[in-house]
Amino acid sequence: MTLHLVDHPLVAHYLTRLRDRETEPDEFREVSDKIITLLLYEATRDLRTRSYPIQTPLEETKGHEVDDHVVAVPILRAGLGLVGPVLKLLPHVTVGYIGLERDERTAVASRYYVKLPPDIHGKVVMVLDPMLATGGTAIKAVELLKEYGPASVRLVCVVAAPEGIEALQAAHPDVQIFAAAKDRQLNAQKYILPGLGDYGDRLFGT
Ligand code: URA
Task: Specify if 54 maps to a domain.
Answer: no
Q: Is 195 in the pocket of ligand 1 (CB under 6 A)?
A: yes
Which pLDDT does position 110 carry in this prediction? Answer: 82
Task: Specify if 53 maps to a domain.
Answer: no
Task: Specify if 51 maps to a domain.
Answer: no
Task: Specify if 166 maps to a domain.
Answer: yes
- Please say if the pLDDT value at position 107 is more than 80: no
Where do the DSSP E strands lie in 56-166? 60-66, 70-76, 94-95, 97-102, 109-115, 124-128, 131-132, 152-156, 159-160
Report the domain count for the chain: 1
129 is catalytic: no
The CA 197 to ligand 1 mean position distance, Å, reads 6
Per-residue confidence band for 105, with pLDDT thresholds at 50, 70 and 90: confident
Range 115-121 average pLDDT:
94
125-183 pLDDT, tens per residue? 999 999 999 999 999 999 999 999 999 999 999 999 999 999 999 999 999 999 999 99
Which pLDDT does position 109 carry in this prediction? Answer: 73
- Please say if the pLDDT value at position 1 is more than 70: no
The CA 54 to ligand 1 mean position distance, Å, reads 46
Threshold 0.85, pTM exceeds: yes
Task: Specify if 171 maps to a domain.
Answer: yes
Residue 8: which domain range? 3-46+68-204
Range 65-73 average pLDDT:
97
CATH (domain of 78) = 3.40.50.2020
Per-residue confidence band for 100, with pLDDT thresholds at 50, 70 and 90: confident
